[in-house]
């Protein structure tokens, strides 16, 4: 086990003083406590999804404003990636995870108090900050805590915690909003209880890496080495298309169901969004390895098929087709994302992999927000159905361009 450096000066203790002993749980149990905290934090980022239509009725804002509120999440994520991307390597995993949980708690409190648009937007930014800190740090922590020969298992657990939490959020809030009282309060009260348990677990965890310095915020600039740029571009086009789909379903699916299909039930909205994330997790876990080099083209193909189902479902007003789109596009997003990240990591210089991966995630979180705001603008101008169909066409063209780029890349090799 790695030892932890004592930083007397950093913590403000006089030389020779004793560090107060903090109880710590066993390393094996810590692994699962961190996985739980990861899932609970990511759950909070999608918890408001089925509730947007309820907020619309209460506060009287448009579909465009719903997408802006959702996109505020990406602002928080990108801020965290830029400012805190390397912090856990310096101050330790535990000290990085705890602020992530604090941001998640503050986000839930904002939603509990939300009686205006500024509070909703602030809650989403705080949620994004929590996710931006947790996504990389919790994954690294699970790998650190795993046995030396269990790195792949740790990565699998991180994937399940991440995508499972994202999928569980809308399902939980949708069911509570449908069948329990106080639909705009109870989901966040339940989440605060979960976060309290998660925070206790992280507080008691032993530090798995050596602390090498004190906190210094510095900008992590997006950079891609020349030798990996062609692969990065191809993976980013496919990833952009896939994450745009996640953004669409997370931000606008309740409006599709309520306004176009006349099915406003929060439980149904939450289930549809949960389906997308569940399909993404299944694609990442079960399809990428068997497909091998064909994974990225296969992911693009699934995205194209999913968009065909989305366009048909919106045109016909069919719930079955929309569910088919959620499953197919979710699989495509999961496969293209995991395969793209693997291709980038394989070609990036070992000393710059984290930097390149951070740049990749920056592209993806732009994708999850900007196109969705475009859908909101189009919905106000030409109607929700036309906006959704146009989005499906745009994602299809992106996926096709990724396939063309992949074919050219293979010919060059």
What percent of the chain stands above pLDDT 70?
88
* Highest mean pLDDT (candidates 123-137, 139-153, 175-189, 345-359): 175-189
CA distances from 248 to 66, 272, 307, 316, 340 (A): 11, 12, 11, 19, 21
* Highest mean pLDDT (candidates 55-59, 91-95, 174-178, 346-350): 174-178
Nearest to 146 by CA among 32, 278, 287: 32
Contact 55, 120 (CB under 8 A): yes
Residue 295: the pLDDT is: 95
Contact 99, 387 (CB under 8 A): no
* Distance, CA of 99 to chain centre: 18
CB count within 10 Å of CB 233 equals 14
Residue 408: the pLDDT is: 85
Nearest to 183 by CA among 48, 28, 280: 48
Mean pLDDT of 208-234: 76
Q: Is the dihedral angle over the CA atoms 314, 319, 325, 330 positive or is it negative? A: positive
Nearest to 109 by CA among 117, 120, 97: 120
Contact 128, 81 (CB under 8 A): no
Query: Taking 80 as the threshold, does the pLDDT of residue 147 lie above it?
Result: no
pLDDT tens readout for residues 13-43: 444 444 556 667 777 788 999 999 999 999 9
Residue 208: the pLDDT is: 80
pLDDT tens readout for residues 333-376: 999 999 998 888 888 886 667 678 778 888 998 999 999 999 99
Residue 49: the pLDDT is: 95
Confidence category of residue 2, pLDDT binned at 50, 70, 90: very low
Backbone angles phi, psi at 21, to 5 degrees: -75, 130
Mean pLDDT of 174-189: 96
Spatial distance between the Cα atoms of 398 and 157, rounded to a whole number of angstroms: 31
278 class by beta-carbon count within 10 Å (0-12 exposed, 13-18 middle, 19+ buried): buried
Contact 278, 167 (CB under 8 A): yes
Residues 6+ apart with CB under 8 A from 67: 251, 252, 372, 373, 375, 376
pLDDT tens readout for residues 71-83: 999 999 988 888 8
Confidence category of residue 172, pLDDT binned at 50, 70, 90: very high
Nearest to 365 by CA among 79, 61, 42: 79
List where CATH 1.20.1250.20 sits in the chain.
23-213, 223-413
**Architecture of the CATH domain 223-413:** Up-down Bundle (1.20)
Query: Taking 90 as the threshold, does the pLDDT of residue 266 lie above it?
Result: yes
Mean pLDDT of 119-145: 91
pLDDT tens readout for residues 110-123: 999 999 999 999 99
Query: Taking 60 as the threshold, does the pLDDT of residue 411 lie above it?
Result: yes
CA distances from 104 to 42, 44, 192 (A): 9, 7, 9
Query: Taking 90 as the threshold, does the pLDDT of residue 219 lie above it?
Result: no
Lowest mean pLDDT, pick from 155-164, 299-308, 313-322:
155-164
Residue 306: the pLDDT is: 97
pLDDT tens readout for residues 284-296: 999 999 999 999 9
Backbone angles phi, psi at 208, to 5 degrees: -85, -10
Query: Taking 80 as the threshold, does the pLDDT of residue 171 lie above it?
Result: yes
Residue 300: the pLDDT is: 96
CATH 1.20.1250.20 fits domain 23-213: yes
What percent of the chain stands above pLDDT 90?
67
**Phi-psi region for residue 318, left (φ > 0), alpha (ψ -120 to 50) or beta?**
beta
Spatial distance between the Cα atoms of 406 and 404, rounded to a whole number of angstroms: 5
Contact 129, 78 (CB under 8 A): no
Residue 7: the pLDDT is: 33
């Amino acid at each position: 086990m790695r030892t932890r450096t004592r930083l007397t000066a950093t913590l403000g203790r006089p030389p020779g003083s004793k560090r107060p002993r903090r109880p710590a749980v066993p390393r094996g149990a810590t692994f699962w406590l961190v996985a739980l905290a990861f899932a609970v934090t990511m759950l909070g980022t999608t918890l408001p999804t089925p509730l947007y239509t309820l907020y619309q009725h209460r506060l009287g804002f448009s579909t465009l404003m719903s997408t802006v509120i959702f996109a505020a999440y990406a602002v928080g994520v990108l801020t965290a990636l830029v400012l805190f991307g390397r912090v856990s390597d310096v101050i330790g995993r535990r000290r990085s995870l705890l602020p992530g949980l604090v941001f998640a708690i503050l986000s839930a409190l904002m939603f509990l108090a939300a009686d205006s648009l500024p509070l909703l937007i602030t809650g989403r930014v705080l949620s994004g900050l929590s996710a931006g800190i947790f996504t990389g740090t919790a994954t690294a922590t699970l790998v650190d805590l795993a046995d030396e020969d269990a790195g792949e298992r740790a990565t699998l657990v991180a994937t399940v915690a991440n995508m499972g939490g994202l999928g569980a959020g809308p399902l939980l809030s949708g069911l509570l909003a449908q069948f329990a009282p106080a639909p705009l309060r109870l989901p966040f009260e339940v989440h605060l209880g979960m976060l309290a348990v998660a925070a206790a677990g992280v507080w008691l965890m032993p530090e798995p890496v050596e602390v090498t310095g004190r906190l210094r915020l510095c900008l992590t600039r997006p950079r891609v080495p020349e030798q990996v740029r062609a692969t990065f571009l191809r993976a980013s086009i496919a990833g952009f298309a896939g994450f745009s789909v996640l953004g669409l379903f997370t931000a606008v699916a309740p409006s599709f169901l309520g306004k176009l299909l006349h099915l406003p039930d929060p439980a149904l909205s939450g289930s549809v969004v949960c389906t997308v994330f569940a399909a993404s997790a299944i694609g990442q876990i079960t399809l990428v390895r068997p497909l091998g080099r064909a994974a990225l083209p296969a992911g693009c193909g699934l995205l194209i098929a999913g968009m065909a189902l989305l366009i048909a479902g919106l045109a016909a007003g069919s719930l079955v087709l929309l569910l088919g789109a959620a499953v197919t596009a979710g699989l495509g997003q999961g496969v293209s994302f995991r395969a793209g990240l693997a291709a980038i990591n394989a070609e990036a210089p070992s000393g710059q992999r984290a930097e390149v991966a951070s740049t990749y995630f920056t592209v993806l979180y732009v994708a999850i927000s900007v196109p969705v705001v475009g859908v909101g603008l189009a919905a106000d101008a030409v109607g929700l159905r036309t906006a959704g169909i146009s989005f499906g066409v745009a994602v299809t063209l992106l996926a096709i361009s990724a396939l063309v780029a992949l074919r050219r890349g293979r010919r060059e090799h």
